[in-house]
Structure 1
Amino acid sequence: MSRSIALRDVSKRYGRGSLAVERVSLTVEPGEFLVLLGPSGCGKSTVLRMIAGLEEITEGALYLDGEYANHVPPSERDIAMVFQSFALYPNMTGRANIGFPLKLRDPRGDHEPQVEATARMLGIEDLLDRFPGQLSGGERQRVAMGRAISRQPSVFLMDEPLSSLDSKLRTHLRAEIARLTAELGVTTVYVTHDQSEAMSLGHRVAVMRGGVLQQVSSPRDTYALPANVFVAAFIGTPRISLLQAVVHAPLGAGMWIDLGRHRLALPQPLSPDHQLLRIQQGRPVIVGLRSEAVRIAPPSQARPGEVAMTGIVEHVEYQGHEALVHVDTGSRPAVVADLESARQPAARPGRSLRRQQSGLGRLKARAVERLSGSVAVLDAPPESPQGPDAGVASERLGAVRSDLVVRTGPHVRVRVGAQIPLLVDLAQLYVFDHAGQRVSPAGDGLAPLER
């Protein structure tokens, strides 16, 4: 039997520190597979642990099947968890690990048939008499999942169960998890920082940032209709190109978006989505272009709704089935603050400060700076860095010059340093306001795909 989960303005504070989770409201329907997605330190695992009862809720309320459950002990919530670390008992065989929750519930019962049935479901019958130390990582994770399944819980909570496995095994087990949860029909909340897992597994995806829920929607809507610039940048591979721009919409004339070196003239008559941009007249905005929205072709091959640009090839990533061309169009990148790095607690004096000032600390800081990369705050563009960090900033700006990524077929041949013609499909243009909220496209959601 599945059950519903509802969080109402739930917050979590540790001691006197800042909120780890802030006013999260979320409903998971019976049998639904919901994915909590976000960068490390965004609070997604804390939300999971509050549902399980492993963390106390500071503010707000948790409801299980409509009943207030803040103070219900974890053992009475009928919830099974699967952890990243497997959490198997090393002195027990696979059979004993899978049957352990059943033995706790009924010490004198015969649980062998249920253990065998669970093993058949997971295809691990030949692993039942081995100890965890004799199993590979993927085998141990299957045994851990078997232990959770054998209990026949009403809710599965999975905390990054595949993150410690290699890429090929992750893909295989991801398909197994999708099959098992659909077959069992159990309400599942799955935590991950891997967008591929989120998009392929979830009925809905809940994106978090800094302890705050950003968007809850289907995987298709999360990709195609991101609520804000953070969701747009976090979802999608390669990452969406974000450029600083200004909207110009003079009365009695056409409308265009000024990127600095290039202008994107919007086709007449304006589409309903482009009409929404009139209120941004003269204001700085952020333009988002995914790699599939731009193609390498001369202006003579432009289709209706496409406008021409040019750029210099900075780098080419050959992926086998495709190539990603990094281009410098002369536009100014826009930046999403703290996109890659976790929210850090306040630095403590003494050893922590000395560690930050050490060579290793400086290297880590520079690595984070490179990862969080191309997004500069619109109010303070890094045109001429000053002060002790000027060298680092200049090095970063000099090292990363491309502002646009174009997806092409593997047959396309371009030379690094060459200037190439580009065509931008304005129907796939995203525009976010100065605060980072999506202005265009408006979108009322997309028709769901058959699952």
Structure 2
Amino acid sequence: MTRAISLQEVTKVYSRDVTAVDRLSLDIAPGEFLVLLGPSGCGKSTVLRLIAGLEEPTSGTLLLDGEWANTLAPGDRKLAMVFQHYALYPNMTTRQNIGFPLRIEAPHDNPRPRVEEAARTLGIQDLLDRYPAQLSGGERQRVAMGRAIVRRPSTFLMDEPLSNLDAKLRTRLRAEIATLTRHMGVTTVYVTHDQSEAMSLGDRVAIMRDGVLQQTGTGREVYQLPDNVFVAAFVGTPRINLLRATVRAPLGGRMSIDFGPQRIELPHPLSPEHQMLRIQMGREVTVGLRSEALRIAPPQHMRPSEVLMNGVVQHVEYQGHESLVHVATGARAAEVEGLEAPRPEPRRPRASRREAARSGRLGRLLGWATEREGSSSVATLERPEEETGRPPGTLPEGMVVRASAEMQPRVGEHVPILLDLKQLYVFDDAGRRICPAPRRLPDLEH
């Protein structure tokens, strides 16, 4: 199979042993639109810079059109980048900004025909004589894309090009980028932390975490069959409900999943999707339920694949076309690390010698008092950020249930929740998906 871009066991390590990309293997086909998705700081922009030649791999192999390219100069790679910031020359018109790469590559050729062709493609032919200060944010981003298009590259590299735009304009330009790249047939690698962009734009989505590739597949595959609990938690709006539970199998009874205050019984015999639960008996697991797998309805409306839980309404988010009902069930929320970029520790001003001595004496006194009284006051003083009572990485308590816009439950109301077992995810203690069992999604297009 022909590959436009191939990364084979690529690793990038910066100074102080900071590993930005760890043994990444990824193949991108010619004309494919691949989205690199993940939280800020996961290494996706570093991958883009490695492909562009702005960084060299510490180890591994980068192939462009089958040719070794680890040390190939950026100018020789036939790539064009579009950045988050437009990086337009303020003293140049739109025409001059778009044509600037051509004047560098072929100073004796007339760039006008190609500039006008790129402008027509992007619908900005009326803006060619304006300066960047006279353009809106969306128009500036189109000019930046025109500067990339005019080179007629083999590959587009886009590093969060829409993140500086408002939501309405971002949605419109998203559709324009998808149409443009498919029309041109250009291989595109698009970096974003916005899952809506990833799911709507990409032929495939590659999800990263801490420099490690977690899963690659179509938007439908990564949403419906996440390989691990991180992918399940990161992909999907609202975020998937993840709860800690224990698998129970009493003698002569039906297998169940115990959430603590409540438990649900599984069908007997077990369905093929739930067979792997047999090896988890007595163990703690993480149960995942997307909001569309739950509904608020009386038990008499229960379907064959549904089981009953009970909850108390905490909050209702009215979305116009639907409502998101937050319901407390007493179940314990799961912890998923790395969903957000780590916040840098605040810099503390350097203390004077007198203050240092005073704090040293105070610390010794607090330690002495803690030893005598068994108090935890020192930990409380040192970790005020945990006053919320929820450890870092813990998802909010309760579950989110999709409901019709007409449904208006009251806060504090007790409601029955019908849970569809066909849409039940179970992850083992290492975070790997065990239910449903690995399988291919049916091809809905044929």
Q: What is the distance in 2 between the residues matched to 1:204 and 1:354?
A: 47
- What pairs up with 1:1-400 in 2 under 5 angstroms? 4-250=4-250, 252-342=252-342, 352-354=347-349, 387-388=379-380, 392-397=385-390
* DSSP 3-state at the match of 2:182: helix
Secondary structure of 2:417's counterpart equals strand
Residue identity in the other structure for 2:311: G
The 8 Å contact of residues 285 and 434 in structure 1, kept in 2 or not, is answered as yes
Secondary structure of the corresponding residue to residue 417 of structure 1: coil
Gaps of 5+ in 1: 356-383
Give me the whole-angstrom Cα distance separating, in 1, the residues matched to 2:377 and 2:426.
28
Q: Identity percentage over the alignment?
A: 63
Q: Supply the AA of the counterpart residue of 2:7.
A: L
Segments ≥4 residues shifted beyond 4 Å: 389-392, 397-401, 448-451
Name the larger-Rg structure.
2
Q: Which of the numbers 424, 428, 443 marks the counterpart of 2:438?
A: 443
TM superposition shift of 1:296: 0.2
Partner of 1:380: none
Root-mean-square deviation (Å)? 2.2
Closer, same or farther in 2 for the Cα pair 1:449/1:77, shift >3 Å?
Answer: farther
Cα distance between partner residues in 2 of 1:385 and 1:229:
35
Which SS does the other structure have where 2:216 is aligned?
Answer: strand
Distance apart, 1:391 and its partner CA = 6.4
The alignment's TM-score, normalised by the length of structure 1, stands at: 0.88
Aligned partners of 1:85, 1:262: CA distance in 2, in Å?
A: 51
C-alpha displacement of 1:253: 3.1
The whole-number CA distance in structure 2 between the counterparts of 1:198 and 1:135 is 27
Offset at 1:258? 0.4
Cα distance per residue 1:64-102 (max 9 Å; x no partner): 111110011000000000000011111111111111111
**Count of matched residue positions in the alignment of Structure 1 and Structure 2:** 417
Deviations 1:118-159 (A, max 9, x none): 111110011111011111110000000011011100000000
- Aligned partner of 1:231: which letter? V
CA drift of 1:56 comes to 1.6
> What is the letter of the counterpart of residue 103 of structure 2?
K
Give, in angstroms, the shift of residue 342 of structure 1. Answer: 3.5
- The gaps in structure 2 that reach 5 residues or longer are 351-375
Q: Distance in 2 between matches of 1:145 and 1:407?
A: 38
- Residues 199-255 of structure 1 show CA distances to partners (whole Å, capped at 9, x for unaligned) of 000010000011111111111000001011000000000000100001113454311
**AA matched with 1:62:** L
Partner SS for 2:442? coil
Contact 1:313 1:418 in 2 (8 A): yes
The answer as to whether partners of 1:326 and 1:402 remain within 8 angstroms in 2 is no
CA 54–392 in structure 1, closer or farther in 2 if over 3 Å, else same:
closer
8 A Cα contact 1:41 1:343, kept in partner? no
Q: CA deviation at 1:341?
A: 2.4
- Counterpart of 1:420 (choices 415, 420, 427) is 415
SS at match of 1:80: strand
CA contact (8 A) 2:206 2:217 kept: yes
